[in-house]
Amino acid sequence: MSMLSSRSHVIVLLMLARTVAAQQPSIDQPPLWSARPDVDAFEKIENDHLAAAQRAIDQIDATKGSRTIDNTLAPYDEAIRQLNAANYFADLMQELHPDESFRNRATAMTTKVSNASTALSLNRDVYHALASLDVSKSDAATRYYVRRQLLEFRLAGVNKDDATRAKLKKLQDQLTTELSTFERNISDDTRTVQVTDVRELDGLPQDFVDSHKRGSDGKISITTNYPDLFPVLQYAKNDDIRRRLWSAWVSRAYPKNRTVLRHIMQMRRDIAGLLGYSSWADYNAADKMIGSGSNIAKFISQLDAATRPPAKREFATLLAEKRKTNPAATQITTYENWRLNELVRRSQYDFDSESIRPYLPYAAVKQGILDTAASLFHVSFRQEMNAPGWDPSVETWDVIESGQMTGRFYLDMHPRPGKYSHDAMAQVLDGIRGKQLPEAALMCNFPEPTATDPGLMSYDDVVTFFHEFGHLMHHILGGQQQWAGISGLTMEADFVEAPSQMLEEWMHSPQVLASFAHQYQTGEPIPAELVARMNRASAFGRASSIALQNALSAISYDIYKSKPADVALDATTLRDLSHYTLSVPSAADGHLYASFGHLGGYSSAYYTYMWDKVIAEDFFQQFDQTNLLAGDTPMRYRRLVLEPGGSMSANDLVKDFLGRPQNTKAFQQWMGEEFADTRQNE
Ligand SMILES: [Zn+2]
């Protein structure tokens, strides 16, 4: 390849950054804390934030005479800044502090902070003060900020009469309780399938078989937890064990959550009605990119049309695979998809995901992720030794641009007892231009290198790392605003995943991977041929999985789009699964809503994942496909998509970057990629 490798690209940028070491004033960002404080010091920091927020709110109330940006919006934003700082810090300590009693006190603090935030969102005096602001002479970002805050106030019901507000408050409180019951019913209901004959586990990896010993009753128990579920669905040769485990999995929290979900649907419908919306889906969409419930329906059917042709081609391949052992087969039942996909990947793509791990030792991956991000976003990173984190293993890094520090992040990357157990990005401070630098943290659970173990990562971990790092960069690069309330990731909730889903594509690039993925013993860069084989294998099954996601989006919408009395939960679930996927659901699949946790938090907005994937692929096609780090697109993307943060509508920044609204063309190309690649090879 004749292009600059990403690594040398980074070096050039670092040198440039050094030579223009600027004289501009910079913020001297104090460390989050000067030393690792005890829990009393933590609580004092938190209470100081809450007191400062209250002082700012009092200042708005005390103002007489005409409302100005200075006497109203500025203290309002100060209250937001203080509440967010308190909220982020308490959350972070609740998830990450090594000491359990510290974590528990942090949990209590999150409730205290959340109550203060709720009180502000229902503060009528503050709403009226903001509503009477004349922003006609303000800049566009300030106008947008005020307009959006007023919408959020109205969606909370702040401008309704006392009786309505009392009803809303009661409904919200009940809803909170029912939602946590819905979630707890799911997490509490791990089901088990018993195996008497070990031959039923044929096909599963030996370490799986070894770790599932017979119990005192002589039976082997397989649970519905992911580490059991997916290997069984994928590898077990025995059809019966796969079918039984799948049925157990889709039946979790059933029938308990049937009643709970009915209550949730009714309360949400009532809330929407009191606020003047004809359905919960419409109400929930009001502050999002998509705008209305009918647009959700439109998006789902558009995506369905785009997905059907490639899904049909995949279906034909899967059915041919099934006919190898069952020549008369004409259909595929939902649970069979995992097994058939695995068989197709093996027989047609010759790819074993274990073969890639030796190229992915943690330390090299971390450096590679930092180098790739530095090159793409035109910044550099410097480890900060004088700003300690909450655990000795936490690294603190500064983001440097033109010699100036523009943000800070913390890397808490390996498992610890009691630590948050998934992978995520967390905000730490909102960035405010000239006042406060943005800070964020990654909380992950990747393998930890030791003296004898290089900490080999799975390929999926690497993709996740860059995805989460993308959220972090978005928060920091979008964190140079005038106001905390429009800083970083404060944009519409159905846009937040688009930039990070786009970045996942960088980790599929043979060129980007070869810049850091070197075999840990020999130092050999990962062969482009292996990456190509991996990409082809992972592309197979895309359309079928999108079809399933689309079915779930439709279920999420259909459950909240009309009067709860008109929705038959089992029938709606079965109808959407049959309509959007090419597989045949079994009767048990009709209970799936009971364990579909997103029906709680996301409610009607499960479409978000696919909506953002469509935008992500459209964005991605704007980059130079022969060198993803080259040209001026990365900088244009940074300027037009990331830097605005929440200072303008996401629909507008999409249009600014693409020159038009997003469409599904690139997404369709992405779904059909595997077939294009296969043809090239034949
Ligand atoms: Zn994400």
**Confidence band for 26, pLDDT divided at 50, 70 and 90:** low
Dump strand ranges (E) for 21-118: none
> What is the per-residue pLDDT for 72?
98
Residues 387 and 429 in one domain: yes
Tokens of 240: 């019966």
What gap in Å lies between CA 262 and CA 570, rounded to an integer?
12
CATH number of 630's domain: 1.10.1370.10
> What is the per-residue pLDDT for 17?
35
User: How far does residue 567's CA lie from ligand 1's centre (Å)?
Assistant: 31
As beta bridge partners, residue 525 has 518
User: How far does residue 240's CA lie from ligand 1's centre (Å)?
Assistant: 36
State the amino acid at position 674 in one-letter form. E
Residues 278 and 246 in one domain: no
Residues 646 and 603 in one domain: yes
CATH number of 94's domain: 1.20.1050.40
Indicate whether 676 pLDDT > 50. Answer: no
Residues 552 and 447 in one domain: no
Any idea how long the chain is? 682
Tell me the percentage of the chain whose pLDDT exceeds 90. 83
Residues 362 and 278 in one domain: no
Provide the number of structural domains found in the chain: 4
User: How far does residue 54's CA lie from ligand 1's centre (Å)?
Assistant: 33
Per-residue pLDDT averaged across 530-543, rounded? 92
User: How far does residue 613's CA lie from ligand 1's centre (Å)?
Assistant: 11
User: How far does residue 448's CA lie from ligand 1's centre (Å)?
Assistant: 22
Within 8 A by CB and 6+ apart from 325, the residues are none
**Confidence band for 180, pLDDT divided at 50, 70 and 90:** confident
Domain termination site, one of 538, 568, 587: 538
> What is the per-residue pLDDT for 345?
86
User: How far does residue 243's CA lie from ligand 1's centre (Å)?
Assistant: 31
Instruction: Convert the pLDDT of each residue in 469-517 to its tens digit.
Output: 999 999 999 999 999 999 999 999 999 999 999 999 999 999 999 999 9
The answer to whether residue 662 is domain-embedded is: yes
User: How far does residue 350's CA lie from ligand 1's centre (Å)?
Assistant: 30
Strand order in the sheet with 439-443: 380-383, 395-401, 404-412, 439-443, 424-429
Residues 294 and 367 in one domain: no
Within 8 A by CB and 6+ apart from 95, the residues are 103, 419, 420, 426, 443
User: How far does residue 616's CA lie from ligand 1's centre (Å)?
Assistant: 12
User: How far does residue 147's CA lie from ligand 1's centre (Å)?
Assistant: 27
User: How far does residue 131's CA lie from ligand 1's centre (Å)?
Assistant: 34
**Confidence band for 8, pLDDT divided at 50, 70 and 90:** very low
Q: Which residues surround ligand 1, an ion (CB under 5 A)?
A: 497, 500
User: How far does residue 498's CA lie from ligand 1's centre (Å)?
Assistant: 8
State the amino acid at position 102 in one-letter form. F
Q: What angle do CA 464, 192, 190 make, to 5 degrees?
A: 55
Residues 381 and 470 in one domain: yes
User: How far does residue 463's CA lie from ligand 1's centre (Å)?
Assistant: 11
User: How far does residue 467's CA lie from ligand 1's centre (Å)?
Assistant: 6
Instruction: Convert the pLDDT of each residue in 216-261 to its tens digit.
Output: 999 999 999 888 998 899 999 999 999 999 999 999 999 999 999 9
The answer to whether residue 470 is domain-embedded is: yes
Residues 487 and 508 in one domain: yes
> Could you tell me the residue range of the domain that residue 212 belongs to?
190-250
User: How far does residue 376's CA lie from ligand 1's centre (Å)?
Assistant: 19
The answer to whether residue 133 is domain-embedded is: yes
CB 498 within 8 A of CB 612: yes
User: How far does residue 288's CA lie from ligand 1's centre (Å)?
Assistant: 17
User: How far does residue 602's CA lie from ligand 1's centre (Å)?
Assistant: 14
Instruction: Convert the pLDDT of each residue in 440-477 to its tens digit.
Output: 999 999 999 999 989 999 898 999 999 999 999 999 99
User: How far does residue 464's CA lie from ligand 1's centre (Å)?
Assistant: 8
Residues 277 and 229 in one domain: no
Tokens of 181: 């019951």
User: How far does residue 494's CA lie from ligand 1's centre (Å)?
Assistant: 11
User: How far does residue 544's CA lie from ligand 1's centre (Å)?
Assistant: 22
Write the DSSP string, 289-325. Answer: SS-SHHHHHHHHHHHHHHHHHHHHHHHHHHHHHHHTT
The answer to whether residue 555 is domain-embedded is: yes
User: How far does residue 472's CA lie from ligand 1's centre (Å)?
Assistant: 10
- Other beta carbons within 10 Å of 680: 9
Instruction: Residue 287: name the closest of 646, 662, 659 by CA.
Output: 646
What gap in Å lies between CA 124 and CA 121, rounded to an integer?
8
Within 8 A by CB and 6+ apart from 167, the residues are 270, 274
User: How far does residue 622's CA lie from ligand 1's centre (Å)?
Assistant: 21
Domain termination site, one of 224, 250, 276: 250
Rounded to the nearest integer, the mean pLDDT of the chain is 91
Rg of the chain in Å (alpha carbons): 26
Per mean pLDDT, which range of 283-292, 544-553, 673-682 is the poorest?
673-682
The answer to whether residue 412 is domain-embedded is: yes
Residues 677 and 546 in one domain: yes
The answer to whether residue 336 is domain-embedded is: no
The answer to whether residue 236 is domain-embedded is: yes
Residues 421 and 509 in one domain: yes
What gap in Å lies between CA 670 and CA 505, rounded to an integer?
10
In angstroms, the first-to-last Cα distance of the chain is 23
Instruction: Convert the pLDDT of each residue in 195-209 to its tens digit.
Output: 999 999 999 988 889
Per-residue pLDDT averaged across 312-341, rounded? 96
Distances in whole angstroms, Cα of residue 202 to Cα of each of 232, 317, 389: 10, 24, 47
The secondary element (H helix, E strand) that includes residue 226 is: helix 226-235
The answer to whether residue 325 is domain-embedded is: no
Pairing assessment for the beta strands 380-383 and 220-223 based on DSSP bridges: unpaired
Domain termination site, one of 523, 538, 553: 538
> What is the per-residue pLDDT for 19?
35
Tokens of 378: 């035109």
Instruction: Convert the pLDDT of each residue in 609-619 to its tens digit.
Output: 999 999 999 99
Residues 295 and 364 in one domain: no
